Amino acid sequence: MKIRTILAALLLMAVAAVPARADEGMWLLSLLGRNYADMQKAGLKLSPEDIYSINQNCLKDAIVGLGNEGSPFSHFCTGEIISTQGLMSTNHHCGYGKLQEHSTVEHDYLRDGFWAYSKDQELPNPGLTASILVRMEDVTDRIQKGLSDDMSEGDRAKAIERLSKEIASEAAAKTGYAARVKPMFNGNQFFLFIHIIYKDVRLVGAPPSSMGKFGGDTDNWSWPRHTCDFSLFRIYTAPDGSPAEYSKDNIPLKPKHSLPVSIRDLHAEDFAMVMGFPGTTDRFLTSYGLKETMDINNTIVYRVRSVKIRVLKKQMSASRAVRIKYASKYASCSNYWKYSNEQNKALTNLGIMKVKQDIEAQYLEWAKDKDPKYTRALDLLREAYEYRAPHQTAMTYIAEGLLSGTELPFQSFKLGYNLLPYLKKGVDEDDRLNAIEKTRKRGMTFYKDYDMETEREIFSSMCSYVYSHIESRYCPKFLEDAHTKYKGDFKQYASYVFSRSVFATQASFEAFMQKPDAKRLESDPLYQAGKGAYEAYRQIYESIPSQQNDNLERGQRDFVDGIMQINQGKKLLCPDANSTIRFTYGNVRPYDPRDAVSYSFYTTLRGVMEKENPRDDEFNVPARLKELYKAHDFGQYANPKGELPTCFLTTNDITGGNSGSPVISADGCLIGLAFDGNGEAMSGDINFETNLQRCICLDSRYMLFVIDKFAGAQNLIDEMNIVR
């Protein structure tokens, strides 16, 4: 072996043999034993069976994945059960959409908060689901038996889908629960997850948005933080304890396990574990994928959403009704808007491109004497990413600007597309009437949170921006026609569209649905705009040769397979997050983000008062909170120094979907709710940065203080097991 090769091999061994870091990894519960010794070293006092067991009640029985009916396995947030009566805490921003849905100008729960002082005051939320894991199982061998390297990617995907459905159906038939098979490590492993899914989840309480969103976009993804980011829900069941749709006869869930809530003081290096349903990470992304993420996805998302946010801010500040209607939409838009920009900054500052390229160089050195598929993997990825770059750019502009940036065109197209077949001759009259009623109901749901002037402003701004930035060969035809006809004046185009469309207002939509007409629908300008944007997106996607998509799938799978082999017996590898339940572990810890800057690991209510700015909606402080602070009325929730802790930091791995996850102490008590990451390490979804990455958590003492002292909801305090 040549000296250069020997040195490279030694370097590879040194890197690959680095022990697993306690802070990094979204670990699978069933593989807990592999991490247990390290968890004990970090301070854990529980046994593995206390955390995950299929034979006894344990922590996993108190962890809830929040989803929506129709996609209950796609968890958007996490919650935790904190009483024997099914009371559940999660983040304020996780419950924000439900608060918005229940709010009106007369009862503005976003502004004023909401508290149920008895169970009959709790508010139902149709469509919201709560999922609790029953058990999980490795089914890799069974699926791998039906696969081969000779398969095309399409045939492989079909085989996986067939086998996964077969396994899930068998499990569901045996247990009566919901079951699903999920791939891990880019399709190199497969696990079966069995859940019980509850369908009656009611809103119990939430502080005003001035507290629950304190700091707004300014403080988002940053530390120090003082956000009171929690809301409360309750899970209900049928009288026999089984999942059931909402009914007045339902009773509160009697959970197998609920978390005691701690008001003990926290110290640096205390053990901390987060359990929840993290959305997605991409730790095995190559340098080619990273370039696409930074240069295309993040850059375009940030720029397009900047335009939309400017419009929303103007419209929402001018009207209280518009503010309520668009509050949840604005929060959703702005969250990823800032994330995309902060992630690009962190990826650049931390030199993650070089990190990825070094890993690939080491991988290629290992792969030289292995199956040719491993050396070919990176070539396949490079070619696929390079080929699809212009396509991905155009699709991102269309998706962000024309399909989700301005909502009404695509909404109009979806409503019309589903209705049109039933407006043709020869359709059964009952089927036609049923389709009309379904379309009407879907439309009415949309118009509840809709304002024509706001949408028209967004529509013209998005059309103008996309037309100005997308490559002409990919520009949707309706945009080109509008630019020509109105000489580039998209405001004039928007005025025409909204004056002629049956979808422009709720009243015109309802009038049309009284006597829907296929010809009028197909010629409707908003329907045509939505159809034009959708078809342009689809045509661009379909213009990418299927072989390029296959190469991307195969190349990534083989690359990850190689990385797994390199680290076998040397370093524990964790599969990327994919909305399945995981645990992470670490410690309470401060950090030093920059030269001469050191951050404490916790904040207090004093910081809320210091940040107060009555002229800035992001930093308003309710009068009641100021009264309590001035009186130093913190009750049993103050720390030994007499301070009221608000938020704290841990080294736990966290990503989207972990919002609302419980932060659990060494002995299994709730010490906080995870709600954010820090901007300096926003690269974490792609590359974990040990020294900088922090999980920002709401202190359980602040949550209890607000429930008790601020809201006076003694009924909720009484049902919790508060550990002093």
Q: Would you name the residues annotated as active-site residues?
A: 93, 229, 659
Q: Which two tokens stand for residue 268?
A: 């640096």
Q: Please name the helix (run of DSSP H) or strand (run of DSSP E) that holds residue 672, with its range, or none.
A: strand 670-677
Quick check: helix, strand or coil at residue 708?
Answer: helix
Concatenating the DSSP letter of every residue in 281-323 gives --TT--HHHHHHIIIIIIHHHHHHHHHHHHHHHHHHHH-HHHH
* Strand ranges in 139-242 using DSSP code E only, listed in sequence order: 178-184, 189-198, 200-206, 231-237
Contacts of 4 (CB under 8 A, 6+ apart): none
Exposure letters 361-370 (e unless 16+ CB within 10 A, then b): ebbebbbeee
Quick check: helix, strand or coil at residue 544?
Answer: coil
Gyration radius (Cα) of the chain, Å: 26
Pairing of strands 261-262, 722-723: parallel
Long-range contacts of 318-321, Cβ-Cβ distance < 8 Å, separation of 24 or more? 319/451, 320/105, 320/108, 321/105, 321/451
CA terminus-to-terminus distance, the chain:
64
**DSSP for residue 577:** P
β-sheet bridge partners, residue 9: none
Report which of 306, 66, 95, 317 is spatially closest to residue 209, judged by C-alpha positions. 95
Separation between Cα atoms, residue 308 and residue 330, nearest integer Å: 9
From residue 209, alpha-carbon distances to 95, 154, 374 in Å are: 11, 47, 52
Separation between Cα atoms, residue 437 and residue 709, nearest integer Å: 48
Separation between Cα atoms, residue 611 and residue 647, nearest integer Å: 15
